[in-house]
Chain A
């Protein structure tokens, strides 16, 4: 009789357990992810946002996208990080304007338990779980190589870079300078740091070209500076004399590539940065962060006039809407 009672209790317990098991259907919780960009204007960033939204839709995350008006305003970025934490973001996908000055805000956010994913341009913080973006040093070398391969003779190089505290711009510059030095036939004539904004960049580039008429190769390291540099070259009528290597895809630079003011573009996979950044954030929040690598290199490709309309270049350059 005692044994039967025991068995009965066991059966009841098992039943209760199974019932609770059955009723506890897994309900995926919606995570909140904030994407804080360097800018919300350029085609590069619009493409990043499209990718981020695609990932947010796929992983059922609530995505907010913000960015400062200018690509130098790290203080606004810091404020945005704080705000995102206040609003309950569980993960921040971040592209740092300033490698050093954004670090404190990111550390503070991480201390509040927010997961950090860096895309495009990293930040000096150990809280960054993964960096997703271009291998900027390699991209810089790629840009330099594009010029070296297509220009014969000695190269007098002018470099139009943007904010000096931005990690990715500096890395690209470093890669390009190294590549030029190794070639032995290139000389860096001048490096200017302008604002990441087309009008400013155009003026500064024009000034550079006026000051150094010997320049026959020009490198611009992001989308607005490339547009500005292309405009300057065209306005000065130097399309044939100056070999311009720009970065990223913009209708202006694509037009420039066809008419001659731009000679090559290093195209980053901005859509993938946005997509993979949000994907990484969602995976971390749902506890699958273990498989994340610390650095994910998104593909970069060089487009020039010859391969502009190949299928692969089309895919890289033009967003599908």
Chain B
């Protein structure tokens, strides 16, 4: 019973906790999933935006640089129309002013190098190949153009990487084309310093996908790194993101150059997202722990007092009489429940004691009514005996009989008291035995052995008489030889024990059972069962009759009751 109750409680708690946690987990998971999804999208968007911003900035700077160079080119073009002397002055001043211009070269209409201006370097006498000037390309276009990067190959012992800007000159001048060889010092400072995230970078390529400038150009040249410029060259301006890299392409004015920004999803997005996932996980655990704790506290708050209440009910069920209720604490609902239960306990206990009192009173009333009855046969027979004595002139015997009969009735009534002194009860028994002895013509003898200290205590009236009656009727009546009845009264600790011992035919076990169960017989007013019942009602279950008997040997009926003095019964 108890085990089952505990298991049920645990199951309820577990279900409660599990449900709360499950709901929290589901809600959290949904929230985190949506949040992370949104967050990642936003991060990708922001990465694209910052990439695009960086690239457009670089694009603007490079465009400015190029327009600057175009202006310089116009200056150089103009210088070509002037006299050789002022041209030399102008160009050497220009070269000093623009250190990123490696050389200015002019070419004849046949594509031959006419003149070269450079600070600290002179062109070789025999140039194997001049990478700065491509006659075919120059002849094809009428507008200024930019070459792909190449090594300056006209000097001895000086091979810097340059791009060349070539412009045709108006006819009428000596030279047909002029070229500016531009080193990367300016462009590199524009581009190398632009970072997108930690590892992202920008590079410059031309419309064919040749890399013009890359922050890690030497890595590319050494074959340690490559850029998929063919694919990038085919893309329009814009931002392209795949799983790992975000490319951002922007044209530089109408120069044909394009800036490509390369940034890594991994560091711009994934790292942030991973950080967010970690945070979310921590949050989840915290919330879960909080939910677990809350539900645990809640279930304890409800479950523990309820369990206390259940325990109280259980112990009330097993022993309602001696149950004292201690209220259980807890929430208001539980307290109300506890209060109601306390009310109920008090009420039930009151009802129970009322019922018991009423029961006892009813039985007492019944018994009193029975005691009041006088067996009419006994009275007729006794009166017959007295009449017969008178006829025979045995006046003294008749007087004794009448006295005995009178005592018997007086004590039987005892002013309606149930408890009478032991002495009176002995007197009653003696009167009865006297009468019976006359009636049975001295077929038996009797003797009293009474502890004088017992006389002052109280006992139920008409306790001995039914026992003696039974001894005479069932024990001695059938005997041939003379019977004997011993009545003893003695103390046994806090009890008084009456013993009625006869030497009659004795009783079998069934007979003893029958005597103790049977109601009053038609012959006597009060049966042995009645005596036993009265003793138990008055003094409790441990008191009453105890019959031991042996066939053809005799019977001993032991009556046990507590020592009760005048006025003491009510307190007991």
Contacts and interface: CB of A to CB of B under 8 A. Distances in A.
Mutual binders A and B: yes
Interface of A: 1, 3-4, 7-8, 11-12, 14-15, 18-19, 21-22, 50-51, 54, 251-252, 254-255, 258-259, 269, 271-272, 275-276, 299, 305, 308-309, 311, 314-321
Nearest to B304: A1
B480 interface: no
A4 B296 contact: yes
Interface residues of B, number: 40
B285 A14 contact: yes
Contact of A11 (B156, B224, B281, B292): B292
A15 B128 contact: no
B217 interface: yes
B208 to A, nearest CB: 12
A107 B401 CA distance: 143
A51 B159 contact: no
B222 A275 contact: yes
Given A251-B158, A271-B222, 9 more contacts: A11-B285, A18-B282, A54-B216, A271-B218, A276-B224, A309-B131, A317-B159, A318-B151, A320-B184
Contacts of A12: 289
B179 interface: no
Interface in B156-175: 156-161
B219 A54 contact: yes
Given A251-B159, A309-B153, A314-B151, A8 B292 contact: yes
A8 B296 CA distance: 9
A21 B299 CA distance: 32
A16 B148 CA distance: 59
24 contacts: A4-B17, A11-B292, A11-B293, A14-B289, A15-B282, A15-B286, A15-B289, A51-B218, A51-B222, A54-B216, A251-B158, A251-B159, A258-B128, A271-B219, A272-B222, A272-B224, A308-B128, A314-B150, A314-B151, A315-B221, A315-B222, A317-B159, A320-B217, A321-B161
B156 A255 contact: yes
Nearest to B157: A251
Contacts of A272: 222-224
Given A1-B300, A269-B223, A276-B224, A50 B218 contact: yes
Given A8-B292, A12-B289, A271-B218, A19 B128 contact: no
Q: Which 9 A/B pairs are nearest by Cβ-Cβ distance?
A: A315-B221, A271-B222, A251-B157, A11-B289, A320-B217, A258-B128, A272-B222, A320-B218, A4-B296
B257 to A, nearest CB: 18
A182 to B, nearest CB: 30
B159 A318 contact: yes
A78 to B, nearest CB: 30
A1 B300 CA distance: 8
A126 to B, nearest CB: 28
Contacts of B216: 54
B452 to A, nearest CB: 67
Given A7-B292, A50-B218, A251-B159, A22 B279 contact: yes
B178 to A, nearest CB: 22
Contacts of A258: 124, 128
B387 interface: no
B15 to A, nearest CB: 13
Contacts of A4: 13, 17, 296, 299-300
Interface of B: 10, 13-14, 17, 124, 126, 128-129, 131, 150-151, 153, 156-161, 184, 216-219, 221-224, 278-279, 281-282, 285-286, 288-289, 292-293, 296, 299-300
A4 B13 CA distance: 9
A15 to B, nearest CB: 5
A299 B222 CA distance: 9
A15 B222 CA distance: 51
A299 B292 contact: no
A141 to B, nearest CB: 21
B296 A269 contact: no
A321 B278 CA distance: 43
Which of A3, A19, A252, A315 is the most central at the interface, judged by chain B CB atoms within 10 Å of its CB? A315
A180 to B, nearest CB: 29
A232 to B, nearest CB: 18
A308 to B, nearest CB: 7
Given A251-B157, A251-B158, A54 B129 contact: no
Contacts of B124: 258
A139 B413 CA distance: 147
A15 B279 CA distance: 12
B505 to A, nearest CB: 70
A26 B160 CA distance: 42
A51 B217 CA distance: 11
B220 to A, nearest CB: 8
Nearest to A316: B221
Nearest to B130: A309
Contact of A309 (B151, B219, B281): B151
Contacts of A22: 278-279, 281-282
B161 A305 contact: no
Among A21, A254, A320, the most chain B Cβ lie within 10 Å of the Cβ of A320
A8 B157 contact: no
A11 B150 CA distance: 66
A309 B129 contact: yes
A269 B222 CA distance: 6
Nearest to A5: B296
A104 B224 CA distance: 33
A48 to B, nearest CB: 11
Given A22-B282, A271-B218, A7 B296 contact: yes
Contacts of A54: 216, 218-219
Contacts of A315: 221-222
A15 B161 CA distance: 59
A258 B128 CA distance: 6
A134 to B, nearest CB: 13
Contacts of A1: 300
A305 B217 contact: no
Contact of B278 (A21, A50, A254, A276): A21
Contacts of B279: 22
Contacts of B128: 258, 305, 308-309
Given A309-B128, A309-B131, A275 B151 contact: no
Q: Which of B13, B129, B131, B285 has the most CB of A within 10 A?
A: B285
A255 B292 CA distance: 81
Contacts of B223: 269, 272, 299
Nearest to B217: A320
A275 B219 contact: yes
Nearest to B131: A309
A3 B10 contact: yes
A11 B24 CA distance: 15
Contacts of A311: 150
A11 B290 CA distance: 9
A255 B126 CA distance: 11
B193 to A, nearest CB: 14
A21 B157 CA distance: 59
Contacts of A314: 150-151
A8 B293 contact: yes
A50 B216 CA distance: 11
A30 to B, nearest CB: 15
Nearest to B284: A18
A308 B131 CA distance: 11
B518 to A, nearest CB: 59
B548 to A, nearest CB: 57
B405 to A, nearest CB: 78
Nearest to B185: A321
